[in-house]
Structures are given as C-alpha cells and as structure tokens.
C-alpha cells in the first residue's frame, strides 16, 4: 500500500476548555505543539483566554502508511509568556495511530489533558478532529517539496512554521519551577537511569536552557585551559578515568544538564563490577525445582529456588574482590524423597566464562541482551539443557546496579542498600482561642456562689498546649471567659485527623467539655493580609451531657513560615511551607562521596576480630541520601554522587558517617541484631564559602567526642560542586531576607521557636524511622544536632573564647595607642600626629579615606582567602582541653542522675539557665565573626559586594560634601514610621547571611 498511495494526516485543533491559569493573573495564553513521525506543527497563541478557540488544521505526511497504527501523535499545550521567558506546561494528549479515522468519518472528540507526572497541576480538556486522507503517489518534485525531512524548503506555510517552531520550541519551553522541583526524582534511587536519559530527550517536556547561554561557561572554545580549568586538574583526571570529557560535562552542568552529570558520575571514580543476569533455564525435566549457582574462585552465590525455572536475578561482583579469571554458572535440581523426608541435589550442567573475554558496557549503551548457553556436563538422561544468561563488565552507573545482588554491600539486604528519604512537609497550625459561652460546669457546681478558674487545653497528636487561666464569677459578672491567645502547633503532612480542644475546670479538676476540629479541612493562608475566619464549636461532655457550652476559635495552617527542623545556625532550607511562595532554584549542589580511610573498628566479628560496616548519610533541605553499606572495610570506597536544588546560598550541607548495626545479628552469639547504628563522625560545609562552578576535592577528618575524650575516627573524601548559572539571581538572594516574610511581620518568640523546633525534630525523626528500611532515630538526631540546646561546659567555654577572640582587635588597638603615646616607634607617632592634624583640618576626608583603606586591604587579603571548604574544627570546639568531670557532665542525661534528688533538681535548673546563657554567648560571638568573615573573604560573594560598596562609597563621599551626607543620614534615620518597612534592610540581610563559626563547633 505504501507504494501505491500517499497518505496525509490532518489534525484539527478546535478549542480547549477550563485550562489551568499559569500567568500569575488568573488566566493563560495557550498554544498547541503537535508532534507526529518526526514532524512538528504549532498553532497560534490565544492570549489571556482559559477557553481558547483555534479552529486550525495542521497537516502531516505519513511516510509509511503500513506502520501508521504503531505511530503516536502527541499534543502539548503551553502557556506563551511572550517576555523572553520559557513557556509553562498546560497539559498533553497522546493518541495512538490505530485510533485515527479516515476522512469523512471524523468527529469532534474532547480529550482530557494529561499530567506530565502525578505532581503536575493540570486541568481542562481539548477538542480535536484527527483523520487521514489517501492521495495519489506524488511526483518526485512534489514529494521533495512536501517532505519536511528533504533538503528543499517546504512550500506550504504550515511546514515552514513547523520547522521554525521546531527550532524555537526547545528554547521556550520549561515547566514552572515548583513543578520541576516536585517532579524531580531522587538521584540515589535512579542515578544510572538519569544518566542514560540525559543526552536523549529532544521533546519539549524537558526543561532546556536557551542555546544562547552556551557562551556562559568559562571554557576556551579551542580547547585551551581557562583559569577555572587549571583549578580543576584533579577533577579532569577523575573525569578521564570515568571515560567522560571534562569540557563536555562542565558545559552540560552550566547549561542545566544536571541529569547528565549525575548519571556520568563525574565527581567520583569509576568502579568496575562483573554483572551476571540469570534469566531462566530450559531443562528437559520440569518436575523438580531448580536453582543456579555462580562460582568465581572463593566467591559463591546461588539464586532462589523456583519451580518454573525463571529467576531473572542480577548479581554484581566487585572486580577488586575477584580472585579468579573464570566464572562458572551451574544449574541444580532439588529432589525430595517423601519416604525419608530428605532433599538431594543433582547438577543439571554448567557453563564457564573467561573473564578476560567478557564485554564491557558503559551507559548510555543499550543493555546487553541475554543469550541461551548450552549446559555442559549434563547427565546423559537429560540432554538439551540450556540456560539464558547475560554477562558483562560495568560500573556503578549501570542501570542494573540498584536491583543487583552486590558483593561488597551484603547482597540483597534492604538495610544495606542505597536509599533516598524525604522529610515530611511541615506547617505551623495556629489556634486562636477567643472566648467561651454558655458553659455548664457540671451537676454539682454552683457557679453563682463561687469563683471558678478555667483554661483551654489543645492537643494535636502528642503536642499539648494550654492557655492561661481565666476566672468566671457571678459577683463580678464575668460568666463568659475571654482569652484571645494563640497556640501554635507543628503539623506534618499527612496531617493528624483531629485537633482536640477542651475546657478544663481548675477548681474541680474536671473537664467541662471537648470539641474536635478536622485538621485537613482547616483554612490555609500564606501571609498576614488575609484574616482566617472564626467559628463557634459546641463543647461535648460525657454521655449524660451532650452539650456543655460553646467555644469561639480561629484556626489556620500558616504557609508563610518556614518550619525550622534544624539548628538555626546550620539550617539547609529556608523556604516557606506554602507552594504559592515558592521561588525558582538559583543553582544546584552536587556531592561525590568518594570513600573513607583509616576508620576505627566499631564492633567485633565472630567475637574476636574488629570490623566496621560503614555508610554515609548526606542531608540538604528535605532530601536525605544514604549510600550503600560496605561490609567489613576500614577503607571503604562508595563513589556515589547525589544532587540537590539550591534555593539559598547561605545554607549548610551535612554529611555523617555511621556504622550499620541493623542489617544482621551476632550469629556467633545467637543474638538479634543491634537496634542502633553507631556514629563515626560528621562534616558540615557552608555553601556560601564555596566558589561557584568549582569542584572541591578534599579529605575531612572525622572527630567524635566519647566519654573518654575526643577521638579521631578516620577521614572521609568528598567532592563538592556548587553550580549557579546566573550571578544576578545569586546576588539577589544575598539582598533578600533569609527567612520568609511572616517571620518578620509576625515573629514567633525565642522560647516558642525553641519548643517548635524540638517538636519538628521529633516529628521528622519519627517519620523517617517509619520508612522501609528505617533511617534510625540516632542517625536523624545526630544529623539534625538535636542536642545543641543541652548544657555543655565545653561548648560554653568554646563560645566564650569565640567572644574573646572577636574582641581581641579592641585590645590590640588599645595596646597600639599606648605604644603611640609612649613613643615606642617615633616614626609611627609622628605619622599619627600628622593624621590627627589632617582629620581636624579636613574632617570630610575621614570616611572616604577609611573606605578606600578598607578597599585596598580587602583586595590585598583576597590572595590569602581559604581555598578549601571549612569543616568541624576540634581545636575551635575545645575537645582537647576538656576535663574528665566536664566530659562526664556532657554525657550525663537530662535530668542528671548524679547525687541526691535535691542536688539533682538544683543542678538541672542551673543547666537550663546556663544553656540559655550558652546560646546568648554563641549569638554574640556570631555577630563578631560575621564582621570578620566580611573582611576575610570567607564568603567571597558577600565580601565582593562589600568591596564594590567601599569603592562606590569612597567615590560618592569624595564628591558629596560630608555635612550633606551626615544631614541626609540623620533625616533618614529619623524618618516617620509611615515611610518605614517591616522587612529588614538590604545591609542587614547581607550581614545576617555572613558565615560564622557556629556551624564548625562540634
């Protein structure tokens, strides 16, 4: 048929209904892209219309009519921004070629728009007519003109428009940032799959950066070395080991090709594995269950025993652990003797492979197809036995690695596999207790003859909060108590079903009544401009009292806050809970967990030999990644790479190393496995101290504080890269407030924040502990630093010396002035006299000279800045000078278990008070350290902003009279409250974002 006719496909895009608003103004400007058989057509844009009417006919050429039924027609609807920004996704429809009708029988059909993933916000439907027309075979000239793939240009306008749009579509199409974030897959679960898909996704569904941004990477076009490349020579070596071009990888990263970098494992070394996929066998006797056995030297493993001879199992042997040059795969049959109740095993046959001849495969190469192999050595009674296998050499980037039995991580044990975890989404639930009415205090109560004290008790899960006491008395006429108090809870999705509110009688100790509020149906707000509605709820007592009064409440879920579930000085996420306040990411963070060295033995194996089964947990934002556990190794090599989106540069990445105590028990003693994983050490890296688009490869010391003192547990080798394609968005992040707006216009008190933070930590710990496999409570608490509020003499001493260190400049200045007055250095004293005369005679030169001096000093100190990311500092933590009694005090529980009861109460009271003083000292020290960080290039971007400010300030102050500047600043400081903003100013925002040493304290 293909030779006798020419077929054309026509798609009439009629209209669409009830599209999702995407332009931020409650509407959308929709257009449709249609793809079929490598051809693309585009409709016109209907501006600001949620029910657009196109009535356009799009024409496609069917190259092979015989295979049209297997082709797919795909329509994608987009919102056209027309401002140079990328279009946003409105929905898609996919139609099979078998559903196309012939011309004359077509009808208008409305297809619902499909989501790109389960997280996409899509609605509406689109009306289409799809039909095909068979025509006479075209001449060679007309065929060349009609075929869009030919070299001659298309004569019809639709073809030209389709070609033009085919070039422009990848530059203009990208989903909304929040959709991109929600649809992102954890890198730990499918690193290899992402690496395979990255180079081959030309469809407009993918987020593609415009081609004009290619010029941004600092890489020479002729292959020469730029300054960035010279600093990354070690990375280039690793990339060459992985078989990856460093220039290509770096360009892809800067162009937004995050999946390629993750899949290519360009920050870690290549690890070779021998993969064996055992699919099935074909024995002549199928009455007995069979299994396959794989033997490589002393390594031996068997598949599961099946009756249907199909296994489909993958095995991965670390090549460094192999002690033989041959692989033997044998198939065995199990036969059970019913008389003696015994099982005998008989070999069906075996096949051998020379490992030197095994092919190598590196993604994105296609998977190796299994083949049938004849089993040799089979009994004469059962000839013709075959087994289907696939054997190849691959790396940890192979798609089969995650599902494979792994020789270096304990096989298929769930507790030793690499996993990705997600913290629950947290909200603040605000309950405003206004008043009560018509209270019935019980049958034996006489409210008119006595005074009663009442309070309101609210409970959400394990959280319980109470209002203050209110008095009702008939003598004063206050029979309807009023509170107007706010109670704030932490709620995690999925929410607890009910919030229980009860009125309690303090005098009688009885409950007046209770009311239940369905939490998922509570109103939500993202700012303070909308006041949530208030409602009356009936109070219910016991069965004999179905109505005991009513209570007036105002309840809402606050989406304008960020719920802190980490210590404030080492937070990794500052985004608001509401999606409406979501901002696009400014860059990406990638970490390559390469390996560890010289780890100490954490337990005994077989009761005699020390061993360590180590794994690494990396936490940034709500995403947690856990590497696989490497069994019985003191120098493990994980070589796993993970990535996160970065929304704020002034955040902290936390990496912890643990010994796995959950995956199996002590077999020699016959005891069950331990319930706790043992901490080995931790690393914290602040992103603001990293240069963008630069790879840091360093080894970090792991130091842990034990009851016997501080001990070095080993070292961990990490590769970190912070990528930011736009400097403008990075500078804007520094100038914006660190926390969402609600934290400033309606702040929470310090004591309330501390209680809510501890509650959020407990919720996150509980949720992650219920995962499968669980992320242990001890692991989450160690990563979140949940014990930072507990008193520690060592931490208080460290914070005190931090304060003293920040004030050392004042002492040095006083000593210098004393030396000037004492004429220790006559030349210095003469210069100070001249400077004093110049200041008195020309006071307007003080500030410009000072700023110019700071400008030159900071430029001079740039060459001495820190070139490596900072880590936990044992010396700064004062772990070497702490005494035995102080260590015992730090490891003592809260409350204390030392001494009599009265001493314990006083001691705990002192510890609680000292804990607050410790926090105060830490906050004071942080302010001084931020000033030092501004002058020492610890945060290169913040210091760079200050350098530019000093230069411009000096020039302005030279040009503008000093008195005018002082007068302007004075009037500005004394301005009317009407002209003041509730939000912090830009200098304060930049100052609060400067790094301190708080995240380096152990």
Q: 736-773: per-residue pLDDT in tens?
A: 998 999 999 999 988 899 899 999 999 999 999 998 88
Confidence at residue 477, expressed as pLDDT on a 0 to 100 scale = 55
Does residue 144 surpass a pLDDT of 80? Answer: no
**Nearest-10 Cα torsion for 74, 77, 82, 85:** -80
Which has the higher per-residue pLDDT, 630 or 67? 630
Most confident of 128-132, 208-212, 297-301, 797-801: 128-132
Confidence at residue 700, expressed as pLDDT on a 0 to 100 scale = 92
Q: 566-591: per-residue pLDDT in tens?
A: 887 888 999 999 988 888 999 999 99
For residues 852 and 88, give the distance between their C-alpha atoms in angstroms, rounded to a whole number. 48
Instruction: Work out the percent of the chain whose per-residue pLDDT is above 90.
Output: 25
Contacts 24+ apart (CB under 8 A), 481-484: 481/435, 481/436, 481/439, 481/454, 482/434, 482/435, 483/433, 483/434, 483/435, 483/456, 484/432, 484/433, 484/434, 484/435
The pLDDT-based confidence of 519 (bands split at 50, 70, 90) is very high
The pLDDT-based confidence of 486 (bands split at 50, 70, 90) is very high
Q: Which of 26-35, 167-176, 322-331, 620-629 has the least mean pLDDT?
A: 167-176
Count Cα atoms within 13 angstroms, Cβ side, for 215: 1
Structure tokens at 987: 């200098």
Does residue 711 surpass a pLDDT of 50? Answer: yes
* Average pLDDT, integer, range 51-55: 90
Which string of DSSP letters, residue by residue, matches 593-622? Answer: EEEEESPPP-EEETTTEEE--EEEEEEETT
Q: Which of 113-122, 351-360, 554-563 has the least mean pLDDT?
A: 113-122
In DSSP terms, 310 is beta-bridged to 280
Does residue 518 surpass a pLDDT of 90? Answer: yes
Most confident of 71-85, 234-248, 899-913: 71-85
Confidence at residue 226, expressed as pLDDT on a 0 to 100 scale = 43
The whole-model pTM stands at 0.64
For residues 718 and 696, give the distance between their C-alpha atoms in angstroms, rounded to a whole number. 8
Residue 195 dihedral angles phi and psi, to the nearest 5°: -65, -30
What is the average pLDDT score of the chain? 78
Nearest alpha carbon to residue 59 among 168, 125, 154, 142: 154
Does residue 912 surpass a pLDDT of 70? Answer: no
The pLDDT-based confidence of 245 (bands split at 50, 70, 90) is very low
Q: 826-870: per-residue pLDDT in tens?
A: 888 788 788 777 777 777 777 888 888 888 888 888 887 877 777
Structure tokens at 349: 């046959």
For residues 890 and 911, give the distance between their C-alpha atoms in angstroms, rounded to a whole number. 11
The pLDDT-based confidence of 488 (bands split at 50, 70, 90) is very high
Most confident of 97-101, 425-429, 966-970: 425-429
Does residue 792 surpass a pLDDT of 80? Answer: no
The 10 Å Cβ neighbour count of residue 193 is: 16
Does residue 594 surpass a pLDDT of 90? Answer: yes
The pLDDT-based confidence of 595 (bands split at 50, 70, 90) is very high
The pLDDT-based confidence of 281 (bands split at 50, 70, 90) is confident
Q: 648-680: per-residue pLDDT in tens?
A: 999 999 999 999 988 764 443 334 445 688 999
């Amino acid at each position: 048929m293909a030779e006798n006719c020419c077929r054309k496909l026509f798609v009439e895009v009629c209209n669409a209904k009830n599209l999702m608003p995407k332009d931020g103004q409650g509407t959308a400007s929709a257009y449709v892209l249609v793809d079929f058989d490598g051809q693309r057509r585009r409709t016109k844009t209907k501006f600001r219309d949620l029910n657009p009417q196109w009535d356009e006919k799009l024409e496609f050429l069917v190259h092979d009519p015989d295979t049209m039924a297997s082709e797919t027609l795909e329509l994608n609807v987009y919102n056209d921004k027309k401002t140079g920004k990328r279009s946003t996704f409105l929905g898609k429809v996919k139609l099979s070629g078998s559903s196309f009708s012939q011309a004359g029988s077509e009808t208008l059909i409305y297809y619902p728009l499909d989501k790109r993933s389960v997280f996409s916000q899509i609605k509406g439907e689109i009306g289409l007519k799809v039909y095909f027309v068979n025509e006479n075979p075209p001449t060679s000239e007309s065929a060349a003109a009609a075929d869009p793939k030919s070299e001659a240009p298309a004569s019809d306008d639709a073809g030209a428009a389709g070609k033009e749009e085919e070039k422009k579509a990848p530059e203009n199409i990208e989903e909304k940032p929040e959709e991109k974030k929600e649809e992102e897959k954890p890198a730990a679960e499918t690193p290899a799959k992402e690496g395979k898909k990255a180079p081959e996704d030309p469809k407009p569904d993918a987020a593609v950066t415009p081609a004009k941004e290619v010029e941004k990477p600092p890489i020479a076009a002729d292959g020469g070395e730029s300054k960035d490349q010279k600093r990354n020579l070690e990375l280039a070596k690793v990339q060459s080991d992985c078989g990856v071009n460093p220039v290509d990888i770096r360009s892809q990263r800067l162009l937004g090709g995050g999946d390629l970098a993750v899949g290519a494992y360009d920050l870690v070394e290549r690890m070779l594995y021998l993969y064996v996929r055992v699919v099935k066998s074909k024995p002549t006797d199928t009455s007995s269950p069979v299994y396959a056995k794989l033997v490589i030297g002393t390594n031996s493993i068997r598949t599961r025993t099946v009756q249907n001879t199909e296994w489909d199992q993958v095995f991965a042997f670390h090549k460094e652990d192999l002690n033989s040059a041959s692989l033997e795969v044998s198939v065995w049959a199990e036969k059970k003797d019913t008389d003696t109740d015994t099982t005998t095993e008989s070999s069906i046959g075996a096949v051998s492979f020379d490992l030197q001849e095994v092919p190598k495969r590196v993604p994105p190469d296609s998977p190796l197809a299994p083949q049938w192999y004849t089993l040799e050595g089979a009994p004469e009674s059962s000839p013709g036995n075959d087994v289907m296998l696939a054997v190849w050499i691959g790396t940890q980037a192979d798609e089969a690695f995650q599902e494979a039995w792994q020789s270096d991580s304990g096989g298929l044990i769930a507790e030793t596999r690499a996993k990705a975890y997600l913290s629950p989404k947290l909200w603040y639930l605000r309950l405003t207790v206004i008043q009560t009415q018509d209270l019935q205090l019980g049958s034996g109560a006489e409210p008119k003859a006595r005074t009663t004290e009442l309070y309101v008790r609210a409970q959400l899960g394990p959280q319980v909060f109470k209002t203050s006491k209110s008095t009702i008395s008939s003598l004063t006429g206050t029979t309807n108590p009023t509170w107007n108090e706010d109670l704030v809870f932490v709620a995690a999705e999925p929410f607890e079903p009910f919030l229980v509110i009860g009125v309690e009688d303090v005098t009688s100790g009885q409950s007046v009544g209770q009311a239940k509020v369905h939490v998922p149906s509570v109103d939500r707000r993202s700012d303070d401009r909308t006041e949530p509605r208030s409602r009356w709820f009936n109070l219910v007592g016991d069965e004999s009292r179905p109505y005991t009064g009513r209570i007036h409440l105002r309840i809402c879920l606050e989406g304008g806050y960020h719920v802190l579930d980490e210590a404030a000085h080492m937070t990794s996420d500052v985004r608001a809970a509401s999606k409406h306040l979501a901002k696009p990411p400014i860059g990406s963070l990638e970490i390559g967990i390469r390996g560890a060295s010289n780890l100490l033995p954490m337990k005994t194996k077989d009761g005699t030999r020390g061993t360590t089964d180590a794994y690494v947990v990396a936490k940034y934002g709500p995403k947690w990644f856990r590497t696989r556990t490497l069994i019985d190794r003191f120098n493990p090599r994980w070589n796993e790479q993970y990535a996160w989106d970065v929304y704020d540069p002034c955040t902290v990445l936390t990496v912890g190393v643990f010994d796995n105590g959950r995956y199996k028990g002590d077999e020699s003693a016959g005891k069950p496995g331990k319930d706790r994983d043992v901490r080995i050490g931790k690393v914290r890296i602040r992103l603001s101290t990293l240069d963008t688009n630069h790879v840091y490869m360093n080894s970090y010391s792991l130091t842990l504080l034990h009851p016997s003192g501080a001990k070095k547990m080993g070292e961990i080798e990490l590769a970190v890269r912070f990528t930011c394609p736009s400097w403008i968005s990075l500078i804007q992040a520094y100038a914006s407030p660190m926390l969402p707006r609600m934290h400033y216009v309606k702040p929470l008190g310090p004591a309330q924040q501390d209680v809510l933070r501890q509650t959020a930590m407990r919720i996150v710990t509980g949720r992650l502990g219920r995962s499968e496999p669980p992320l242990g409570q001890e692991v989450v608490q160690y990563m979140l630093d949940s014990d930072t509020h507990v008193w520690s003499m060592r931490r208080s001493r460290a914070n005190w010396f931090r304060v003293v260190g920040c004030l050392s400049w004042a002492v040095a200045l006083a000593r210098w002035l004393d030396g000037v007055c004492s004429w220790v250095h006559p030349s210095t004293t003469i210069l100070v006299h001249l400077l004093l005369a110049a200041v008195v005679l020309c006071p307007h030169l003080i500030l410009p000279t000072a700023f110019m001096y700071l400008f030159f000093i900071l430029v001079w100190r740039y060459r001495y800045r820190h070139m490596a990311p900072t880590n936990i500092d044992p010396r700064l933590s004062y772990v070497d000078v702490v005494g035995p009694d102080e260590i015992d005090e730090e490891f003592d529980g809260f409350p204390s278990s030392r001494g009599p009861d009265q001493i314990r109460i006083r001691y705990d009271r002192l510890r609680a008070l000292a804990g607050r003083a410790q926090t105060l000292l830490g906050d004071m020290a942080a302010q001084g350290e931020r000033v030092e960080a501004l002058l020492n290039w610890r945060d290169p971007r913040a210091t760079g902003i200050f350098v530019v400010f000093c230069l411009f300030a000096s020039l302005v102050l030279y040009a503008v009279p000093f008195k005018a500047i002082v007068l302007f600043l004075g009037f500005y400081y004394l301005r009317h409250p009407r002209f003041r903003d509730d939000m912090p100013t830009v200098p304060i925002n930049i100052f609060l974002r400067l790094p301190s040493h708080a995240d380096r304290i152990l």
